Amino acid sequence: MANTDDQKPAPDGTAYPSDSEVPTDDLDRIVADLWERLSDAADRSQPAFHLPMLATIRTGPHGLEPSVRKVVLRFARRGPDRSLGGDAGEDVGGGTLGCHTDALGPKVAEIRANPRVAWTFYDPQARLQVRASGTARVLTDGPLVDAAWTATKPSARRCYLAPHVPGVPTDSPEPNLPAPVRKRDPTTAESEPGRAHFAALRTTIDALDWLHLHHAGHRRAQFRWDNGEWRGNWVAV
């Protein structure tokens, strides 16, 4: 493993979190730190956690099987997210993770059939892996989705103009984009039809698995959202 003394600054000039900055001996500090890292990764593109893997469950030729893909983390918040519903007396989870997707894509159908999903994050500089699991929801209408669409740049909206449903067979390797915008970004007006295909995914997180790799010995902890708080324990690696 690389020496942390040799770490280079992030592309925006800020320093990557060093190995020594990862709390490793206090469960409360660990869960607070990992949510801070997730929140930062949702707000900026530089952190390694910005591009996690999202696993859903699909029905394949051999029965139920995992379906995994890389996504862009668009939302991360510790604590209950009342924007997803639930009254004041309802326990709605210990945190929320979110991304955007094509409403016609297979992951949406998979989540609607089985909403349990798992996220995996890895930061090679900090030698830190975080796995988060919970219940996902597909949102296609309402203020939350409208705000997310408005905040999305035309360059990112372009993929929602796809003429073919994601994942269907095609006769050629051409990009799944309308011909006029294959070599340029659409204007805001040209991108608006993509709103019909735009969906926000939100996962209410109820379990976390934290793993820190170190040459002197790896450390691992697990957390469960229980009765309004994160309860953690150490586990063998």
In a domain, residue 229? The reply is yes
Amino acid at site 48: A
Domain with 145 in it: what CATH number?
Answer: 2.30.110.10
In a domain, residue 168? The reply is no
- Asked if 225 contacts 135 with a C-beta cutoff of 8 angstroms, the reply is no
Number of domains in the chain: 1
Q: Which residue has the higher pLDDT, 200 or 91?
A: 200
In a domain, residue 24? The reply is yes
In a domain, residue 132? The reply is yes
pLDDT digits 0-9 by tens, 155-200:
999 999 999 999 999 998 989 999 999 999 999 999 999 999 999 9
Name the percent of the chain lying above pLDDT 90: 83
User: Is the confidence at residue 2, as pLDDT, over 50?
Assistant: no
The overall average pLDDT reported for the chain is 90
What single DSSP character describes residue 186?
P
Distance CA(90)–CA(70), nearest Å, equals 32
In a domain, residue 201? The reply is yes
Strand, helix or coil at 37? helix
Position 175 scores a pLDDT of 94
Position 3 scores a pLDDT of 34
CA angle 200, 119, 153 (to 5 degrees): 35
User: Is the confidence at residue 144, as pLDDT, over 90?
Assistant: yes
**CA torsion 23→71→206→57, rounded to 10°?**
-140
Distance CA(3)–CA(215), nearest Å, equals 10
Long-range contact pairs involving 226-230 (C-beta distance under 8 Å, separation at least 24): 227/91, 228/91, 229/94, 230/31, 230/94
Instruction: Give the range of the structural domain holding residue 228, as residue numbers without chain letter.
Output: 4-163+173-235
In a domain, residue 183? The reply is yes
